Amino acid sequence: MLSIFVLILDMKAIEIWTKDEIAKLYHQPLLELLYQAATVHREFHDPKEVQISKLVSIKTDGCPEDCGYCPQAARYHTDINGNSLMSLKEVVSHAQDAKDMGSSRVCMGAAWRNVKDDNDFDQVLEMVKSVNQMDMEVCCTLGMLSENQAKRLANAGLYAYNHNLDTSEEYYKEVISTRGYEDRLQTIDNARKANLTVCSGGIIGMGESDNDRISMLYTYALMQPQPESVPINALVAVEGTPLEEQTPVPIWDMVRMIATTRIVLKHAAVRLSAGRTQMNDEGQALCFMAGANSIFAGDKLLTTPNPDFNGDLALFDKLGLVPMKAYKKGDKPKVNEAYKEKPVNKEKVKWTRPGHLIERNEEAKAKSKEVRKSFRPRKISSVKKL
Ligand code: SAM
Ligand code: DTB
Ligand code: SF4
């Protein structure tokens, strides 16, 4: 292997990968790749342990963005019931249920383009504090984030911020037009400046090439530090979204992607994320063998189905896996009441809006308009008098 090891100040060796090296890894015969990944996995992690994370959709649907994969984008007509921000009580109750089942992390997701310094954000900060006090790792995924907002989340007790690059910079333009790749990178940087751990990964099965997958991993490999957690999602093709007709990604691609991620991002928790309902137990076992050591559990992801918790625990039993405890890789963040301090002047962060044309996104939007029109009650223009 040609990769260079660089010594940094804390004497932890960082491996610098070239894109070609990652491509060589990725394209190896699958069993050879699997063997290498399983070996790396044993060197850097306890292969028995799998982190169980619970997703809670604290604000569902109605998002202004045009992400081609997402059922929560307001412009596409999908079968989802949206809601306003969840109450603190409900969040705590979801977190307690998840903790009782063995979850050590709660990830709160909002269908927002970016965070605003408003009352909803104040409520999210209270949610973060409450779940932190339950001794669970708290993660949020709320869209783009300024440095100040990241600091307030960290002060409230946030452990991780999830913000996915999703694919390569080149293919991103084929999926989303309402924001740019640089906004995602900037948000990850803002989370880092607040000393949050970073959870960032991608989706496979959106029509991207192997090269796009490799390119995304290369971007993560170059980050210093690399993300502590990397979700690998298989696209859940939801009716009404621009990607509704994508064929399900073969399990072999999922195993290959997870194994390559495991080798390139050795220290990260690799999360076998969306798409598990399309996989059988044997397929998931191969993903664990390839180095996946985290899952989202509970019968719902954000809006789409996920295997039920008891089924997952039964699979863990069969495979000899055990749930990982909270804060295995870091300390529990201390709550600092400074999280309540709103910025005196509302920050004006300029996020991009490229606005280029993505044909399949436009088609899905037009189709949605048609569907909505056909549901609209007809106006009665004249009522015959008897
Ligand atoms: N709005 C925020 C954002 O986009 O960052 C947070 C929520 S968003 C739903 C979080 C992630 O969910 C996306 O980055 C994407 O990776 C994943 N996701 C959304 N829809 C998906 C789908 N249909 N299949 C697989 N993953 C999906
Ligand atoms: C991630 O990478 N996958 C999760 C979490 N981070 C937020 C979300 C998956 C969403 C799948 C589609 C849905 O349920 O709406
Ligand atoms: Fe909105 Fe996030 Fe869905 Fe994109 S992925 S439409 S930003 S909720």
Domains of the chain: 5-329 (3.20.20.70)
Query: How confident is the model at residue 276, as a pLDDT?
Result: 98
Query: How confident is the model at residue 4, as a pLDDT?
Result: 53
Query: How confident is the model at residue 10, as a pLDDT?
Result: 45
Best mutation site among 65, 121, 141 for ligand 1, i.e. most ligand atoms within 8 A of its Cβ? Answer: 141
Q: How remote is the CA of residue 82 from the centroid of ligand 3, in Å? A: 13
Residue nearest atom 3 of ligand 3, based on CA coordinates: 70
Query: How confident is the model at residue 370, as a pLDDT?
Result: 84
What ligand 2 atom has the least distance to the C-alpha of 202?
2
Three-state secondary-structure class, residue 160: strand
- Measure the CA–CA gap between 124 and 322, rounded to whole angstroms: 31
Residue nearest atom 18 of ligand 1, based on CA coordinates: 70
Q: How remote is the CA of residue 232 from the centroid of ligand 2, in Å? A: 10
HSE-up (13 A, CA, CB side) for residue 374? 6
Query: How confident is the model at residue 357, as a pLDDT?
Result: 97
Which ligand places an atom closest to the C-alpha of 231? 2
Q: Is the CB of 277 under 6 A from ligand 2?
A: no
Residue ranges lining ligand 3, Cβ < 6 Å: 63, 65, 67, 70, 72-73, 111, 113, 143
Write the DSSP assignment of 68-89 as a string of letters: TT-TTBTTS--S----SPPPHH
Q: Is the CB of 233 under 6 A from ligand 2?
A: yes
Whether 179 is catalytic? no
Q: Which of 75, 105, 139, 184 is catalytic?
A: 139
Torsional sign, CA 374, 368, 234, 313: negative
Return per-residue pLDDT of the chain as tens, 386 residues. Answer: 445 554 444 445 668 899 999 999 999 999 999 999 999 999 999 999 999 999 999 999 999 999 999 999 999 999 998 889 999 999 999 999 999 999 999 999 999 999 999 999 999 999 999 999 999 999 999 999 999 999 999 999 999 999 999 999 999 999 999 999 999 999 999 999 999 999 999 999 999 999 999 999 999 999 999 999 999 999 999 999 999 999 999 999 999 999 999 999 999 999 999 999 999 999 999 999 999 999 999 999 999 999 999 999 999 999 999 999 999 999 999 999 999 999 887 777 889 999 999 999 999 999 998 887 776 655 544 444 33
Q: How remote is the CA of residue 176 from the centroid of ligand 3, in Å? A: 10
Query: How confident is the model at residue 383, as a pLDDT?
Result: 42
Q: Is the CB of 302 under 6 A from ligand 1?
A: yes
Q: Is the CB of 141 under 6 A from ligand 1?
A: yes
Quick one: tokens of 367? 């189709």
Query: How confident is the model at residue 344, as a pLDDT?
Result: 84
Burial label, 92 (beta-carbon count in 10 A; 0-12, 13-18, 19+)? middle
Whether 140 is catalytic? no
Whether 199 is catalytic? yes
